[in-house]
Structure 1
């Protein structure tokens, strides 16, 4: 599939990247799919690798509702819960932006991505250049901040205490992003940061 190179002055280049990443803003981002999706309001999702069962159930219900409400969802979809969220979203028609923690020039496109890409509802987006073709912890961190910068709002179903996901949450709250989580005893660490409590409601972001 063809790769589109979106430079700093391209009208498709997200202005939010320029606003939030400052000196770290990528001069070019690489895309496979429909770049018009970048004009949509977006909701990012991040989650720790391990997650309590009650939060998993709440998250799946929430994502199924998002799937029916045509809200664009962005993320790396790397942790087990995030991967299952992507599987749920792929059964719907709402736009999705996938941000891998590597370059996309030599990346194999999964067969389940090809139809939504062809239909204009799926975008693979990366800030990494050709030689960054392997996933690493550092690139995963950079990818998460890249996706968070683009997003209008962020949902973190669960972040383990002391985790990188908790740190990500704290940083973007300080930058003024709207960040939500579920009202649960498991999320006391996030709620103590000042995170608003997300109510599972279909039209929350309409």
Structure 2
């Protein structure tokens, strides 16, 4: 399903484009983030965490871009919880994958981006801005793994960003 003409909303003085139910941003969201390179034991922890969150019906937010985040998304899509997906690019147009369509039709899925349609591909800069967006909307933040010297490590090290409820049970930041 090809989505066009996203809805423009204002959140905390920021323009956001979205497809789906923007009220999902008002729910207590749980962020799950992971660097692209991830040790095997952390992958197993991530899968266990995603299955637990699915059983607990936790609303989740992420970019769902890295392999570990994508695997978590596959697990969440089979559960009852609401999902907020934040691509690191504009979402006009946005090709909605078949496996997301049922949740989207039930208004349990929101695709939200701070980027207008001129941003066609993710870059390191847009990925960093997307990660900051995810963290700013999450009540609880879980970092599965942050590669040393990577962008996620640098963002996580910024204390003001992580104010509020922080859940880093599997945080590995060497």
2:160 paired with 1:174: yes
Match of 2:111 in 1: 124
Scaled by the length of structure 1, the TM-score of the pair is: 0.77
Residue in 2 that maps onto 1:30: 17
Q: CA deviation at 1:183?
A: 5.1
2:165 paired with 1:143? no
Which residue is equivalent to 1:45? 32
Partner of 1:4: 7
- Following superposition, the deviation at residue 177 of structure 1 comes to 4.1
Q: Aligned residue for 1:72?
A: 59
- SS of the aligned residue for 2:144 comes to coil
Dislocated runs of 4+, deviation >6 Å: none
State whether residues 140 and 166 of structure 2, in contact with CA within 8 Å, keep that contact through their aligned partners in structure 1: yes
What is the CA-CA distance between 1:75 and the residue it aligns to?
0.6
Aligned 8 A contact 2:45 2:170 in 1: no
User: For the aligned residues, what is the CA RMSD?
Assistant: 1.6
Greater RCO, CA 8 A, separation 6+: 2
- The 1:53–1:109 alpha-carbon spacing in structure 2 relative to 1, beyond 3 Å, is same
Q: Structure 1 residue 51: deviation in Å?
A: 1.1
Superposed CA offset, 1:135-163 (max 9, x none) = 11111111110111111121001112111
- Largest Rg, 1 or 2: 1
TM-score, normalising length from structure 2? 0.90
Distance 1:67 1:183, change over 3 A: closer
**Contact 1:4/1:31 (8 A) holds in 2:** yes
The reply to whether residue 133 of structure 1 matches residue 120 of structure 2 is yes
Where in structure 1 are there 5+ consecutive unaligned residues?
19-24, 190-206
- CA shift digits 1:152-191 (9 cap, x unpaired): 12100111211111111111x333244333357xx253xx
